[in-house]
Amino acid sequence: MPKCNVQRRAAAYGIDIGKNIFHVVGLGSDGVPVQKVRFRRDTLLQFFERAAPAIVGMESCAGSQWLARKIQALGHKVRLIPAQFVKPYVKSNKSDIIDAEAIAEAATRPTMRFAALKSEEQADLQALHRVRDQMIGTRTRLINQMRAFCLEYGIALRQGAGQFKVDLPLVLEDQSNDLSPAMRKLIAELFSDLRQLEKRISDVTREIEAIASREDVARRLMTIPGIGALGATALLAAVGCGRQFQKARDLAAWLGLVPREYSTGGKQRLLGISKRGNRYVRKLLVHGARSCFRHLDRTKDRLGSWLDGLQARMHPNKAVVALAAKIARIVWVVLTKPGALYERRDPAFT
């Protein structure tokens, strides 16, 4: 293992993560660097096993969650920092050691914003959602490609995945159209791939729904209008217990559902929503809010009168996003308060 300066004890460490090489900088209690070392993957954990408990900072990136869990189990306090918040602490030139020093300095700032550590269960659940989302994108591209191939031979199919799956077999069976034998064979093979892909999507969806039915928190989240099994499990994977947010608005802001602000000279200026944070979870909340906006029985839910007033003074799309932000706030309450769930109170008794 590389030699390091042990004359002064480090109060905080910064790790610049690589695939095989990790650069570590230790800062003393006064913020002055006391250690600058370089490790391979197999020796990094040995170093932190022998080091005295300290703050360990690293950028939130691929591999950081696993490393954070390992180092935290050794007794250290791990802080994951989004990369954009580390950048201001990089002085002048850039190198791996300079990056590690900047990470260590950022980790000690009292007002720094940190990313939450994920458990293995959260990582597994998030992986399921990402795989499903990737397969749905592949399905869309596959359908569009087959539709374009048919259009090249003068065959226009109806819009929508459901209509496409009804129309395409009829097109393939119709020998009177202009499809060439080679193109007919190719499209038939692509359609077979589509069926297999949809079966895989259904399997992953059922697995996610089974997890939602087992988890108490997910079941309570599904009592909120606009949130189903996908939304509840996606929130659990991305947010966890929710206690990293001090108040409900912080969760809505983290998901990018609140306005961006550009105020100066005492004049407040609010722009469109920031669209920060987890794009996938935000998409699910907005889609759920849109469904709720259209189908919620407003005479039997306390959100009804609020939605009516909202719809009267702004565009429906803005009202949908505002409803998604309110749903996010309700989610925070359900996550942070044991046993809490959404009660569909009649407007007359709110």
pLDDT value for 300: 76
Q: Which of the pair, 260 or 252, is modelled with greater confidence?
A: 252
Q: Which of the pair, 4 or 208, is modelled with greater confidence?
A: 208
Instruction: Look up the CATH architecture of domain 12-107.
Output: 2-Layer Sandwich (3.30)
Share of the chain above pLDDT 90, in %: 42
State the average pLDDT over residues 86-92. Answer: 87
pLDDT value for 295: 81
The number of C-alpha atoms within 13 Å of 117 and in the hemisphere containing its C-beta is 16
Residue 136 has pLDDT above 90, yes or no: yes
Going by pLDDT thresholds of 50, 70 and 90, the confidence category of residue 349 is low
Going by pLDDT thresholds of 50, 70 and 90, the confidence category of residue 7 is low
Going by pLDDT thresholds of 50, 70 and 90, the confidence category of residue 6 is very low
Residues 308-326: pLDDT tens digits?
888 888 888 888 999 999 9
Transcribe 159-214 into DSSP letters. SSHHHHHHHHHHHHH-TTSS--HHHHHHHHHHHHHHHHHHHHHHHHHHHHHHHHHH
> Where do we find the tokens 């690589």?
18
Residue 243 has pLDDT above 90, yes or no: no
Domain boundaries, the chain: 12-107, 120-214, 216-262+271-349
pLDDT value for 211: 93
pTM for this prediction:
0.83
State the average pLDDT over residues 188-213. Answer: 94
Residue 65 has pLDDT above 70, yes or no: yes
Residues 121-132: pLDDT tens digits?
999 999 999 999
Q: Which of the pair, 144 or 346, is modelled with greater confidence?
A: 144
Residues 269-306: pLDDT tens digits?
878 888 888 899 999 999 999 998 888 777 777 787 78
Going by pLDDT thresholds of 50, 70 and 90, the confidence category of residue 347 is low
- CB environment 214-253: b (16+ within 10 A), e (fewer): ebebbebbbebbbbbbbbbbbbbbbbbebeebeebebbbb
Residue 201 has pLDDT above 50, yes or no: yes
pLDDT value for 276: 83
Give the mean pLDDT of the chain: 88
